[in-house]
Amino acid sequence: MKSAGDQVVEDDTGFNDEEESFFQDIDLLQKHGINVADIKKLKSVGICTVKGIQMTTRKALCNIKGLSEAKVEKIKEAAGKMLNVGFQTAFEYSAKRKQVFHITTGSQEFDKLLGGGVESMAITEAFGEFRTGKTQLSHTLCVAAQLPGEDGYAGGKVIFIDTENTFRPDRLRDIADRFNVDHDAVLDNVLYARAYTSEHQMELLDFVAAKFHEEGGVFKLLIIDSIMALFRVDFSGRGELAERQQKLAQMLSRLQKISEEYNVAVFITNQMTADPGAGMTFQADPKKPIGGHILAHASTTRISLRKGRGEMRIAKIFDSPDMPENEATFAISAGGVTDAKE
């Protein structure tokens, strides 16, 4: 990495070694009698860790070209020997949870609302109408994720999957100015991909998994802006709704597994739709996020964004396993998401 990048992502080998032990490389299966050719086939579909095998069903493994049922059984057995597939105490799990880190949103109020920022090993979803700050938040996180933060967080690289053609590298330069970091280094540390169909979006996740594995512990954040845009286009009408939701469920399941497997934060944005039935129940807001229950259950933390006065935006915890329902006000400035000036 170039010297200019040192101030952004510290390539501290000591830190990487500690991260490396976070997952077990799939190549270790060779010691349990699995041949290299079969391991290569698993890698071709984005399964690069032993935990990745545990997270994949036998049926899905059998669908990989060249893997018979007997081979799949042998691979599953070998992975089972290397992993603790049973239960653990809450105390043991809490020790594992200490590896979770938080990425700042750029606003202290917003961070407080989220319990420190966007959490790793989880999917954080932000939804709102247009002009509520979803894409601005995504761009701010691209830079914030690269900066050293609290609790020993050392910063890292980012992958950005863009489905709406809203990613602007110049915007990252403005935000980098605010944090006094080098423009080229910031842009160098963001991997960008434009997805054109929902299938393409899913295929990109194989590349993401391979990249996270290849550079273990270097990537800290995956952003998809927005998660549902292409599903909205590719599947139309009620006739295709069941298929759309099934494909969406598979993608979200994959995202959740990637976040846990490699200890990265996943941040997704989502659109809104008018709810025609809301008028009957006298709801205050007749709009709701798209994606239905599938997306609602898959997101770990859901944040609702709405417009305030001028540059002010209001974020509200819509759903979270550990944070109370609350609101925070933030502003959008030339330097990205920042605290609202009273």
In this predicted structure, the answer to whether residue 25 has a pLDDT above a threshold of 60 is yes
> If you average pLDDT over every residue of the chain, what do you get?
86
In this predicted structure, the answer to whether residue 28 has a pLDDT above a threshold of 60 is yes
What is the arithmetic mean of pLDDT over 250-278? 87
According to DSSP, the β-strands at 272-274 and 287-289 are: antiparallel
pLDDT of residue 144: 94
Higher pLDDT, 150 or 309: 309
pLDDT digits (tens, 9 = 90+) for 72-113: 999 988 888 888 767 889 998 898 889 999 999 999 999 999
The C-alpha torsion from 272 through 276 and 282 to 287, rounded to 10°, is 10
CB atoms within 10 A of CB 198: 22
- Calculate helix-pair angle for 134-144, 169-178, nearest 10 degrees: 60
pLDDT of residue 4: 43
pLDDT of residue 293: 81
Q: Residue 229: is it exposed, middle or buried by C-beta count within 10 angstroms (0-12/13-18/19+)?
A: buried
Residue 42 region by backbone torsions, left for phi larger than 0, else alpha for psi between -120 and 50, else beta: alpha
pLDDT of residue 10: 43
Report the length, in residues, of the chain. 342
pLDDT of residue 238: 87
pLDDT digits (tens, 9 = 90+) for 283-306: 556 678 878 888 888 888 999 999
End-to-end CA distance of the chain: 41
pLDDT of residue 279: 58
What whole-number distance in Å separates Cα of residue 159 and Cα of residue 334?
22
CA 227 to chain centre: 11
What is the arithmetic mean of pLDDT over 170-190? 94
Q: Which pair of tokens denotes residue 278?
A: 């809301």
Amino acid at 111: D
3-state secondary structure of 272: strand
In this predicted structure, the answer to whether residue 20 has a pLDDT above a threshold of 60 is no
For the chain, which domains are there?
26-82 (1.10.150.20), 96-339 (3.40.50.300)
Give yes or no for a contact between 204 and 198, defined as CB atoms under 8 angstroms apart: no
What whole-number distance in Å separates Cα of residue 28 and Cα of residue 210?
16
In this predicted structure, the answer to whether residue 13 has a pLDDT above a threshold of 60 is no
pTM over 0.85: yes
What whole-number distance in Å separates Cα of residue 40 and Cα of residue 42?
5
pLDDT digits (tens, 9 = 90+) for 232-263: 899 988 889 899 899 999 999 999 999 998 99
Q: Give residue 219's pLDDT band: very low, low, confident or very high (50, 70, 90).
A: very high
Q: Give residue 163's pLDDT band: very low, low, confident or very high (50, 70, 90).
A: very high
In this predicted structure, the answer to whether residue 281 has a pLDDT above a threshold of 70 is no
Nearest to 157 by CA among 238, 262, 310: 262
In this predicted structure, the answer to whether residue 11 has a pLDDT above a threshold of 60 is no
φ, ψ for residue 2, nearest 5 deg: -70, 155
pLDDT of residue 286: 62
φ, ψ for residue 67, nearest 5 deg: -110, 115
pLDDT digits (tens, 9 = 90+) for 53-68: 888 889 989 988 888 8
What is the three-state SS of 113-172? HCCCCEEECEEEEEECCCCCCHHHHHHHHHHHCCCCCCCCCCCCEEEEEECCCCCCHHHH
φ, ψ for residue 333, nearest 5 deg: -120, -175
